[in-house]
Amino acid sequence: MFKIRTFNTISSHGLDRLPTPDYVVREDIAEPDALLLRSYNLHGTTFPDSVLAIARCGAGVNNIPVETCSNQGIVVFNTPGANANSVKELVICAMLLASRRVVDGINWARSLKDEDVAAAVEKGKKNFKGPEIMGKTLAVIGLGAIGVAVANAASALGMRTLGYDPFISVSSAWGLSREVTRATGLDEIVQSADYITLHAPLNDQTLDLINASHFARMKTGVRLLNFARGPLVNEEALLQALDGGTCACYVTDFVDARLAQHPKVIPVPHLGASTPEAEDNCAVMAAEQIRSYLEHGNVKNSVNFPEVRLPPRPDGYRIQVVNRNEPRMISQLATVLAGAGLNIDNLVNKGRGALAYNVVDISGPISRSVSDQLAAIDGVVRVRVIAPS
């Protein structure tokens, strides 16, 4: 039986993928095998040795201490693409809001109380005129699942769409419409765009991805959308661009006090994935990833472990070994197993940065003594045995 601790309200569609009696899922489990959460902040949390996996129902993992997890041999999953359609729809909405001054118009119309509203509307509507998006140029920065969905949708709406992502995956490239033009550099894409939308991850390389030097190259009146992470845009440079007229409107899902009060900012209260469909999709993906890892050792959509996919092994033993990505680790593992008279039926070894993950299939049972010898190898972080089901 596996024990899963939840930290947020998780969609029942996801929890149904962890069936009883094989799984116990509660908020108050002291020594869980895995953690399942949405936005709960795990920084500062001490993880018991029992924790093997953490899955976040969402793409960002800023609320999870990933390095700490790696040092303890805990795999961290996220759910990229599960909320792609939800965010895509909101981004398209944001472009229209930024263009047509719909929010300003609505707020003004609500203020008309003690006069002839119909006449006032006809007289005042010219103050909220804005351009159509058809025929305009949209720059999509970051071509993951959401960026590809936005680029394809904008192209279908008649926009000239440019995409930029130096690290685009093969699957994303396959999904990109042929109507989307790939740009070769950030400077190239920002200077030709009427609209710019950000869909890049936040890391040391993308902090202040859009800064003063980029605003200086943009068209006057550009509209900037950020539904990825707030710090992708340098806020001081943004405010100068808004005040100076370079940026006509900034729409963001990540708001602070200064941005919320700026007249050219449309502050959206982090609604990108706030649909029942997205919550269901994220929960299902996270639960299935936890289950596949606990039962079979498979890794998919991890932010710290390499991807490993193996078929179930109902009649044999499987060993999971997490270790530092260093030379001679495989030979040391094989020496211990050979010394115990255990033959290796199959072995998968993959590295990711400073970490390596091994899955070893053995036909015979593995004693606690052998498991302890493997764990005692210098550089091994965690050893776990999966017995036949």
pLDDT tens digits for range 160-200: 999 999 988 888 899 999 999 999 899 989 999 999 999 99
List of E strands, the chain: 2-6, 23-26, 34-37, 53-56, 75-77, 137-141, 160-164, 181-182, 195-198, 222-226, 247-252, 265-267, 317-324, 344-352, 355-362, 380-386
What pLDDT, on a 0 to 100 scale, did the predictor assign at position 314?
Answer: 84
Beta strand pairing status for 317-324 and 53-56? unpaired
- Can you give the pLDDT of all 389 residues of the chain as single tens digits? 999 999 999 999 999 999 999 999 999 999 999 999 999 999 999 999 999 999 999 988 989 999 999 999 999 999 999 999 999 999 999 999 999 999 999 999 999 987 788 888 998 999 999 999 999 999 999 999 999 999 999 999 999 999 999 988 888 899 999 999 999 899 989 999 999 999 998 889 999 999 999 999 999 999 999 999 999 999 999 999 999 999 999 999 999 999 999 999 999 998 998 899 999 999 999 999 999 999 999 999 999 999 999 999 888 899 999 999 999 999 999 999 999 999 999 999 999 999 999 999 998 899 999 999 999 999 999 999 999 87
Q: Which long-range contacts (CB under 8 A, 24 or more apart) does 177-182 make?
A: 177/151, 177/152, 179/155, 180/140, 180/151, 180/152, 180/155
Cβ atoms of 277 and 65 within 8 Å: the answer is no
Residue type, 268: V
What pLDDT, on a 0 to 100 scale, did the predictor assign at position 281?
Answer: 96
Compute the distance between CA of residue 250 and CA of residue 196 in angstroms, rounded to an integer.
Answer: 10
Cβ neighbors of 162 (< 8 A, separation 6 or more) are 137, 138, 139, 140, 180, 181, 182, 183, 189, 192, 193
Helices (H) and strands (E) in the chain, counts: 14, 16
Q: Of 172, 274, 157, 284, whose CA–CA distance to 227 is shortest? A: 274
Q: Residue 29 CB: number of other CB atoms within 10 A?
A: 17
What pLDDT, on a 0 to 100 scale, did the predictor assign at position 364?
Answer: 86
pLDDT tens digits for range 92-114: 999 999 999 999 999 999 999 87
For 169-190, b/e burial (b = at least 16 CB within 10 A) is eeebeeebeeebeebeebeebb
Edge-to-edge strand list for the sheet holding 181-182: 181-182, 160-164, 137-141, 195-198, 222-226, 247-252, 265-267
Classify residue 22 as left (phi > 0), alpha (psi -120 to 50) or beta: alpha
Q: Residue 227 CB: number of other CB atoms within 10 A?
A: 23
Q: Residue 340 CB: number of other CB atoms within 10 A?
A: 15
Residues, the chain = 389
Q: Of 13, 15, 39, 8, whose CA–CA distance to 273 is shortest? A: 39
* Residue-by-residue DSSP string for 67-134: HHHHHTT-EEE--TTTTHHHHHHHHHHHHHHHHHTHHHHHHHHHT--SS-HHHHHHHHGGGG----ST
Q: Of 312, 384, 294, whose CA–CA distance to 54 is shortest? A: 294
Token pair, residue 18, equals 């962890």
